[in-house]
Structure 1
């Protein structure tokens, strides 16, 4: 008779060890190993080695592919992040800090989807049915096709799905679910992995669109094994301060659409409300007569977005000047400061430099380099930038301004918001409509040319 084995599993990365260790050798986490019991595998039957009809290989050219069947969530910003709506049979993972609005958004989505006579099953593993009802009443959820159950046992949930046949299943949250045949606590690596695998099989077999909520760690990553993000079709992250009005929903993985799409929401008494024009939101409070402030044209997935970058450069009171970057990569800021010192001759080695992207958004694309350079130089020289001027372009270590993509989309977004002068890489002028009425496009090849054109 086979015996059950005992192993120790890191709850942060899923690494296994035959004995307990204080520090994980894979991810470096301390005190993350938990003892788990695994059942010994039974010998495989001879029939398991045979190839079933569904597993027989076929030629790739013989596979017929239709466009994925989608339907709207009723929330335009969420539809945009998902790539045009919910795909039937997809598995979506939603992560974010506690209290940021994950459950609120999902129950709003469930209400709007169920209004179109699609039944939705909302499974709460953290709240009772009455608690969920109270939260739904606060945001005026009244649909007759929305069903709620408070349950943690995955087998009971799957039996309910089989009896109800909903079109959408929402699990809040995956860390509270468990399977009785796995001898470990809910939230452990084994439970999270196996519960997600069971939900994935059900979603693909039944064409059931499934949303699962995932807790996050202190570093902001989704708790549990990293394989969890590889198993699902889409990963969405809620970003923003808990006590701030605005929330950002970002797609970091999407098998059915573009990644790095972003949706902007405002938290109100009626729940989360989508912001249709986030560019206007992020630049609405810009002061026109202030140095160190520029507007940059960025791309979030397929959406052009204007953001304000602020820089403050002041005399340092320390032997080593401070460098602080919020919303942009710290190492990129250090590199751009070095370019200004080497190529322009600015004496910044005794100056504190603070860079901030207004609105809580984070910019990762290189097109913001030129805006950061101009903002730092503007603050250092205390020179005010023309408030009708917009920047974008990548800056190299030799001070050159390199080409970027989606130039026309960035300029069109700027024109809609009243910007009349655009400072862009000279290489992007080819094929661009430079004769548009009421606007001026300035092409620059180096950082020095950009500063000469803007800091007059």
Structure 2
């Protein structure tokens, strides 16, 4: 074939482009300030390579529901369920969490368990040396003799080590420490993280290697790095907990191969992570004024957890919560100003959605304080209100409203809820109760936690043996039955 008179397929030509070294955004012309990240002086000229000429010929294939590719079982209790049945070959899993929470420990447990079962594993660490990793493994009593190790902060070293060993599972700890030597951006920056993640995703898809990346989160709980990182990976796992306690929660925020919101609970012990039943830690055996048991939904699992409240009548009207969004407390103060006619200063206007629609504020249940002051007539207007969940766990289930209402009423009156009682139900701003989804699972979880009674809006069908369900429709009815002091306070204020 003659090569004259046309452009051959595969011939390349240079293309001028401009790239921001801070965020990686590509621009068609130079500008002093990047429109993507608003940084000054970060846009530089670069020469890209563009392929011209012919086109590749791709033969489309049909999709059919064949057999799924066998998954890699992790042998780590609870992790397979969170992953949706195990690791999918060729997938990319992001394990995100705050520094010091135990991500490296969890990865070491995972690789040790996989290697013990005959799965080839490679750990590339940019944070610890081989001696440090081995020392940690000895302390945690994890057998890692069959786990490959490569120290590396250079992307080329990581890729070369993976292609040389060809493991079934590659763990990179962490993605923020890996750098592409061909990029001029700072290590750990948005551009470096994006480039390195793209290369590792390509490795996973082309070689069929399961890649596990650990990543840090910001102080707001978001994954550090470009937003595109979450879209590029197949699974995003969050590893959270209270750094002052040993409780840890592994949850799936994104999962292309399984259900989202699945959770597994661990406790950090001297010899590493141990799978636990969280009920024993989240529901203490003895109750006290200001506490109540909620039954919330965590993924497809129902969980009993204690919520606590403190009411200080000597205060100035502060609202403070642990793990709760302050905007919810502003809503409480605004409604209290109207309901109790208290001179709280400038008035703010707020709107609220019902039925759990777009509820992303942790523990949105504290809006029930407004319903308590209006409907149950509890003197919460000038009081300082404090709320917390047991173990510092973040609650985003609106069905925990009634439990928080009971805890607030108990704290305000000094009366305790009945022993063995749990509460389920969302409270509207008028005080009426809305039923919660997954009621049968919640009742089973309450019974499993040792509860003998549940206060919840109806209808409720076939409760478990040994569990009595008190059907309630309004917060005043529920508190009148469950918190005797609340009814007395309401009658006193009414008179």
Fold shared by both chains (TM-score > 0.5): yes
Deviations 1:54-74 (A, max 9, x none): xx3x56xx4334335222212
Q: CA deviation at 1:26?
A: 6.3
Q: RMSD of aligned C-alpha atoms? A: 2.5
| Distance verdict in 2 for CA 1:25–1:179, change over 3 Å | closer
Mapping 1:271-286, distance limit 5 Å = 271-275=272-276, 277-284=277-284, 286=285
Structure 2: gaps (5+ residues): 1-12, 329-363, 485-495
Q: CA deviation at 1:246?
A: 1.7
Matched, 1:75 2:76: yes
Q: Distance in 1 between matches of 2:74 and 2:152?
A: 25
Q: CA deviation at 1:256?
A: 1.4
Q: Distance in 2 between matches of 1:25 and 1:317?
A: 47
Which of these two proteins has the greater Rg computed from alpha carbons? 2
Q: Paired residue for 1:327? A: 323
Question: What SS class does the counterpart of residue 42 from structure 2 fall into?
Answer: strand
Deviations 1:218-240 (A, max 9, x none): 32222110110111111112212
Q: CA deviation at 1:293?
A: 0.7
Q: Distance in 2 between matches of 1:408 and 1:149?
A: 49
Q: CA deviation at 1:102?
A: 0.6
Mapping 1:148-227, distance limit 5 Å = 148-227=149-228
Q: CA deviation at 1:94?
A: 1.0
Matched, 1:356 2:388: yes
Q: Distance in 2 between matches of 1:243 and 1:25?
A: 41
Deviations 1:108-145 (A, max 9, x none): 11011000111100001122222222222211232432
Matched, 1:378 2:410: yes
Deviations 1:10-42 (A, max 9, x none): 45x969895565xx87678xxx66836563223
Structure 1: gaps (5+ residues): none
Q: CA deviation at 1:209?
A: 1.2
Alpha-carbon contact 1:83-1:258 (below 8 Å) kept: yes
TM-score by length of 1: 0.88
TM-score by length of 2: 0.82
Alpha-carbon contact 1:14-1:226 (below 8 Å) kept: no
Alpha-carbon contact 1:37-1:184 (below 8 Å) kept: no
How many residues end up aligned between the 2 structures?
435
Question: What SS class does the counterpart of residue 203 from structure 1 fall into?
Answer: helix
Q: Distance in 2 between matches of 1:80 and 1:18?
A: 49
| Distance verdict in 2 for CA 1:3–1:15, change over 3 Å | closer
Alpha-carbon contact 1:81-1:263 (below 8 Å) kept: yes
Question: What SS class does the counterpart of residue 81 from structure 1 fall into?
Answer: helix
Q: Distance in 2 between matches of 1:212 and 1:105?
A: 12
Mapping 1:18-417, distance limit 5 Å = 35=42, 37=44, 39-48=46-55, 50-53=56-59, 56=60, 62-275=63-276, 277-284=277-284, 286-288=285-287, 290-318=288-316, 321-330=317-326, 331=328, 332-333=364-365, 335-417=367-449
